[in-house]
Each structure stands twice: as structure tokens, then as C-alpha cells.
């Protein structure tokens, strides 16, 4: 019997299946690479419950997978910053929220602390997307008198991001826990910007 249009099975939703596979692979890579950045693609496949061939079908190389994972992290980061209302909250609170969002991202994507991952720059690189938002926040705080206006906002952006990298480096080296590094980074950031009030009030 030949299937007619009424009796034939509907086509398999390949695009949906592919999206599920990609999401499973990225989630497995987030966890596995976060624990051991030298983990194999076979281990990623096992964690995602797919074949190694499926991993390579979507990500032709290890660097391609890492770049996709960093892009996913960047998308989450930008979405969180957009949802935080940084342009309307009191500047010091917004700066603390900016800081907390970054450290939450690191806890979710610990591979971001790995120098091997950092060298891979995806198309949506957070190093390019984030500084303009931070500079806008700092300039607003300087206009309202919440931050010291005597230092150039662009310099403060570079210094704040440098503090975050330094704190992350201390965590990677095992000299600080992530919680302690985050607390020190926040206090240093608020002091650097000349925030009025006690830093702990924004923690």
C-alpha cells in the first residue's frame, strides 16, 4: 500500500531535534569544561547523551565548541544586564548589580576563568559588548554626584574590568575563593569609582 498525503507519517522535526542536541551539547560542555578544560569531545558527547559524531556535526572542532559556549555565556550576560535596569537604578546600586551579574556568570560558566578558553574570541565577544554599558553607567553616576567625577570614565571602565580579571586570576590560582574574590572586587570597584557611602551597603 502506498502512503497518500492523508496517511503518510508527518516529517520528523529535524530542526527541533537539532536544537535540542545543540542545547544538550552546550550544557554538557559548560559543566564538563568547567570542571576540566582538557576534557575530550568524547566526554562532552557522553555528558550530552549523544554520539561523538553528533557533537562534530554541530561543532566541527573543539575551538568551535568553546567559541559557541562563550557566545552563549555572552548572550546570557547581556540579557541579564538588560533586565537589571542599570540605566535607571541608583548608580552605586547599579554598579554593584553589574558586578554581581558578572560573578554569577562566572559561577555558571567556570570555564571563563580558564586562560585556554579566554584566548578564543567569538563573534559576540563580551569584551566588546560590555564596556560601553559600564561607561554609560559610570558617566551617569558622575553626573549625579554618586561617583567621583575627577577621573575619566573610560579609564575607570578599564580599571574596573582589570580588577575583575585580577580577581578571577586569584580564583584560578587558588589564592582566593570565588566568594571572597567577588567581595573584594566589589569593594575595590566602589572605592575606585569614589562611591559615597560604605561599600558593604551595596553588597
Grid cell at residue 175:
589564592
Q: Identify whether the C-beta of residue 135 lies closer than 8 Å to the C-beta of residue 177.
A: no
CATH code of the region 62-202: 1.10.357.10
- pLDDT of res. 185: 94
Burial of 6-19, coded b for 16+ CB within 10 Å and e otherwise, reads eeeeeeeeeeeeee
pLDDT averaged over every residue in the chain: 86
Taking only the tens place, the pLDDT of each residue in 171-186 is 988 999 999 999 999 9
pLDDT at 124: 61
| Cell, residue 193 | 569609582
In the chain, % of residues over pLDDT 70 = 83
CB contact set of 167 (below 8 Å; sequence gap of 6+): 176, 181, 182, 184, 185
The arithmetic mean of pLDDT across residues 22-48, rounded, is 95
pLDDT digit string (tens) for 48-104?
999 999 999 999 999 999 999 999 998 999 999 999 989 999 999 999 999 999 999
pLDDT surpassing 90 at residue 16: no
Structure pTM?
0.79
200: pLDDT strictly greater than 60: no
Rounded Cα distance between 137 and 31, Å, is 32
Q: Residue 18 is placed in which grid cell? A: 537539532
Q: 11-60 — its CATH code?
A: 1.10.10.60
Range(s) of the chain covered by CATH 1.10.357.10: 62-202
Amino acid at each position: 500500500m502506498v502512503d497518500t498525503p492523508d496517511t503518510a507519517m508527518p516529517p520528523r522535526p529535524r530542526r527541533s531535534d537539532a536544537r535540542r542536541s545543540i542545547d544538550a551539547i552546550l550544557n554538557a560542555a559548560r559543566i564538563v569544561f568547567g570542571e576540566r578544560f582538557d576534557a575530550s569531545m568524547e566526554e562532552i558527547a557522553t555528558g550530552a547523551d549523544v554520539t561523538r559524531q553528533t557533537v562534530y556535526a554541530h561543532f566541527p572542532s573543539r575551538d568551535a565548541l568553546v567559541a559557541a559556549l562563550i557566545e552563549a555565556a555572552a548572550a546570557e550576560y547581556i540579557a541579564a544586564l538588560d533586565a537589571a535596569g542599570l540605566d535607571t537604578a541608583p548608580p552605586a546600586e547599579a554598579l554593584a548589580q553589574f558586578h554581581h551579574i558578572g560573578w554569577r556568570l562566572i559561577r555558571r560558566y567556570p570555564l571563563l576563568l580558564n586562560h585556554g578558553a579566554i584566548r578564543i574570541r567569538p563573534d559576540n565577544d563580551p569584551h566588546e559588548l560590555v564596556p560601553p554599558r559600564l561607561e554609560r553607567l559610570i558617566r551617569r553616576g558622575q553626573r549625579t554626584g554618586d561617583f567621583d567625577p575627577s577621573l575619566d570614565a573610560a579609564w575607570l571602565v578599564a580599571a574596573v574590568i582589570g580588577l575583575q580579571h585580577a580577581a578571577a586570576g586569584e580564583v584560578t590560582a587558588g589564592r582566593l575563593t570565588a566568594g571572597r574574590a567577588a567581595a573584594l572586587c566589589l569593594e575595590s570597584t566602589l572605592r575606585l569609582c569614589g562611591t559615597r557611602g560604605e561599600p558593604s551597603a551595596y553588597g
